[in-house]
Amino acid sequence: MTNRIMAACTAALLTAPLMGACSTSEEPAARAGNDARTAPTPALQPFYSQTPDWADCGEGFECAKVKVPLDYAKPSGEQIEISAIRLPATGKRMGSLLINPGGPGASGIQYTRAAPFLFTDDLRARFDIVGFDPRGVGESAPVRCMSSKELDAYVGLDGSPDTPTEIAAQEKGSKAFAAACEAKSGNLLPYVGTANAARDMDVLRGVVGDSGLTYLGKSYGTYLGALYADLFPKRVRALVLDGAVDPAVSSFSANKVQAEGFEVALKAFTEDCLRVSACPFTSRTVDGAMAEVADLLQKADAHPLRNDLGDGRVINEAWTVLGIVTPLYDHQQWPRLRTALGQAFKGNGTDLLRMADVLVDRQAGGAYSNQTESNMAINCVDHPYPKGTATYEKAAADAAKAAPHFGSFVMWGSFPCSFWPVKAAGDDAADSVKPLKAEGAPPILVVGTTRDPATPYEWAKGLASELSSGVLLGYDGDGHTAYRTGSACVDSAVDDYLISLRVPKKGMLCPEAG
């Protein structure tokens, strides 16, 4: 949701029979009665009629470029290319399953490369798995702003500034980020919002020949899917929105709730840690362990941890927070966090830094993908953010009361949007929100995990209730997103819906995986 703590399902971190009554929905493809390649308007027809040149790109995958208008209001004007990748179905093909891993800013190309591990054999048999980099991301007209060294400095900004000097540094760094994006990518910035990405996704649906969209989006990808359904309700076949974002929550409220979600996840981690002998906390209570983490962050703020990577980076509070947050996304990474914290308590932050690099997609040689830049660019145009340093100071202080370890950091992470050179979508009011209803769409499956750190369960409940045909599937578990994270109950329900269009009973809660 912010530039530094993202609502993303990162492939690098991923490693029972259906319960409850089911009902069968009507097949939307037949109900729509439209040819897959028919465009919403005649001016867009050339884009829907194109035939991508799918070419082998290794390990059974095929890659192609799909042309779309930069500005959908001017389809005859400048064009950009969307990079797509697909893994052909292994059995009797039903169609294509389009996917998005989240972010915004995460690469769908990279994510799809892990498809053999991310989807069940049943899904892979029936669908081509189709991924793409949304506009502004990765290989699709990427937004670029800063050099690697500049990004190192930006990511390392003090996320809990408590002196005038530190606040001034936050303001200077955030202004510099916004100005750099305008200087290098100013022509793209007005057009990288999710509404345009959803329109691109409909072009992709058309060119792969599906009359109705079958889609699985995780984290931010749930917003992309919900917005698609709101724009094209009659083109929906089946949408799974896993780790849901609630579009009816204002920007600052979303930051605060997300920070609270990381607090819940950290507490769950400490509870689990105290049950094992390798736990590094000297305290044997959850409150005591949480206090030890807070003390570590304060120490890193005053005296940076040791860095054995030899790259010159200072492991301050910012990098330490990121290193702690990263494994909270995936409970299978908790043993690694135990080890890294044990080293950090002794003054060595190297393992925390390595994990932080995963979250911000920084390579060993120092190069960054454009994930951090595109994340900010998309968020700043998707949602109105308040303006002014004093406003952020107050919001950060309020968030820190609710989420002592992460509140301030998450709130200040949106500060560049205060100086963004492009007007945000929607109303001018900073707290404007727009629930998405997708009136006329068939049942849409919304999946939420009860202790999800990045997209709290209450967001899944909110989105499911706002969508006119939303169906909530809960998972009583830890980690970010639920499908293919260990719950046979969730996997079975999702597969049954995507393949046979049978939806679980509303509000069904899958038990924690054993």
Alpha helices, DSSP H, located in 186-247:
194-207, 220-231
Respond yes or no: is residue 331 known to be catalytic: no
Respond yes or no: is residue 122 known to be catalytic: no
- Using the CB atoms, write b or e for 29-48: b if 16+ within 10 Å: beebeeebbebbeeebeebb
Helix axes 286-302, 251-273, angle to 10 degrees: 120
Ramachandran region, residue 229 (left: φ > 0; alpha: ψ -120 to 50; beta: rest): alpha
DSSP 218: E
At 214, which helix (H) or strand (E)?
strand 213-218
Around Cβ 91, how many Cβ atoms within 10 Å? 11
Helix axes 371-382, 194-207, angle to 10 degrees: 110
DSSP 315: B
Contact partners, residue 18, CB within 8 Å, separation at least 6 = 489, 492, 493, 496, 504
Contact 409, 265 (CB under 8 A): no
Which residue of the set 331, 383, 405, 480 is catalytic? Answer: 480
- The token pair at 218 is 């995780």
**Bridge partner list, 277:** none
Respond yes or no: is residue 480 known to be catalytic: yes
Which residue of the set 140, 174, 219, 414 is catalytic? Answer: 219
Which residue of the set 133, 351, 452, 495 is catalytic? Answer: 452
**DSSP per residue over 105-162, as a string?**
T--HHHHHTTHHHHS-HHHHHHEEEEEEPPTTBTTBS------HHHHHHHHTS-SS--
Catalytic positions, please?
A: 219, 452, 480
